[in-house]
Amino acid sequence: MAEHTPDRRLVLIGGGGHALVVAEAAQNLGWQIAGFYDDDPASTLASRTGLPRLGGLREAAGEVRIVIAVGGLELRRTVIDALREQRLIAATVCAPGSHVAPSASIAGGVFIGPGAIVHSHASIAAHGIINSGAIVEHECMLAENVHIAPGAALGGRVTVGADTLIGLGSRTLPGIRIGHGCTIGSGAVVIRDVPDGATVVGVPAREKLKAQISKLK
């Protein structure tokens, strides 16, 4: 009887800068990138790597494993919801140089970047990004579609709601609860719980009012 060989074909959903990182990490792990879906025919992934564009973001087919390689959380959410009905199999990509504790729980579709650390009994729900050099300490619980940006660190037992961005180089103290749809600003130090939908910035982090955010746009 012939030995069964696992299918190592992978399709990326997205073709921008984040896709470059995901593709290279996946290839270093032995995945064969069959192509990618992106709405832009001249996307970065095509011009930099020559990988074939297979169609638009919502045209993905289910014959191989996929990973969402779009960086922006709002667009990721749109893609997640659009693809959910197709029952596609989501792959997890843990880049070489990352560390995931054996007791940690990592769901399908998660990308863990080079130098990132996910410690004991942490839980990362589907389609999360633990980006380069980020630290998720023991017993943290991250809901679906959370992005921990490069260099950010979560202390032990932090919980993060779905569709939340934890910004570059930020720090969150142990035991903090961060809600759904939040943005933690780059370099912020979070010392108290953050309600759903809030944007917090600064040291210590304070909530920005919607009127203040509008002025910055």
For the stretch 158-196, pLDDT in tens is 999 999 999 999 999 999 999 999 999 999 999 999 999
For the entire predicted model, the pTM comes to 0.90
- Fold assignment, 92-206: UDP N-Acetylglucosamine Acyltransferase; domain 1 (2.160.10)
In the DSSP assignment, the letter for residue 159 is: E
Average pLDDT value over all residues in the chain: 90
Question: How crowded is residue 9: how many other Cβ atoms within 10 Å of its Cβ?
Answer: 14
The residue ranges of every structural domain in the chain are 9-84, 92-206
In contact, 136 and 154? CB cutoff 8 Å: yes
How open is the CA angle 143-8-81, to the nearest 5 degrees? 35
Q: What is the CATH number of domain 9-84?
A: 3.40.50.20
pLDDT band, residue 59 (cuts 50/70/90): confident
